[in-house]
Structure 1
Amino acid sequence: MPKYSITVNGKDVEVDVPAEMPLLWVLRDELRITGPKYGCGVGVCRACTCLMDDEEIQPCMVKAADADGAEVTTIEGLAEDGELHPVQQAWVDRDVPQCGFCQPGQIMTAVALIEEKGDDVSDADIDRIENVCRCGTYGRIREAIKRAAQA
């Protein structure tokens, strides 16, 4: 099998996996990073959302070969020096999660949005987020995103 080099949450790793293996399985099964969740496997629910080279991706749809040489950030890579990322802190402050299953993907999408828009995140920007939350905490998600954008 081919070997691929990926920087995951700031650490360089090498994985020996089939080229077609979804990056989600590389993260979860090979590297034991469990923040990105398997929901649908077709990029619709977005529970697996991560950043790859600072762009939002759904690793269930990215092949291992396509991640070779990339920098991947999962929810586990957001906190620095024991300090939560502002989006994570806003999630805590607004008590967003209920079941919590979709929250890593929701948070990573919010991080990507705020990195793109800065403190100028509008309701229309938030309305374009397609992550599915079966518990329906969208109101609190909206509040947390706005709070984090101002942080």
Structure 2
Amino acid sequence: MTCPPKRADLARTVINATAVDESNGWWTGLVRDRVHDTGEVRLRLERYPPNNSKNRPEHTWRVRPEYWDSERDAVEMFEQYGGETPTGVLPIDDFYTVKEHLPIRKEPTRRVSLVRLEKNWGQTVTRLYHWDPRDGATKQKWTIGRNWDHLSTLATRKLANAQ
């Protein structure tokens, strides 16, 4: 499997990347990068679309050591027991119908939830969403798909080895 571009944009340098899937031209994997402005090293789940002319991932999820265990555990719990009927406003495109959600974090500048969505033709997907409640802007989203078990195990191992 190939890696994502070594420089997804001018603001970072990719240190290493581990591909997990390249089905239908999409690249999905775990990426460790360094932010140029701050020197911070990050670990992220990234998904690149086919023929990616922007040279940027379509979907990302930052794997933060302080939040990762609760996010990973929430996915497992949501898959087993489901979530709640949605209340309030979630940053979801009108193309989807929100069926249920599981709030993970609620802070003044950050909301994180798992959301089960139904597409117009009835297919359901589960996504992690991170948004800013002040303006409703989605900061990150990640679809929990067939590669989740492999990606989450890999991310957990990388975090353990980094400490």
Give 1 or 2 for the bigger CA radius of gyration: 2
TM-score (norm 2): 0.27
Between 1 and 2, higher relative CO (CA 8 Å, sep ≥ 6) is seen in 1
TM-score (norm 1): 0.29
Higher helix fraction (1 or 2): 1
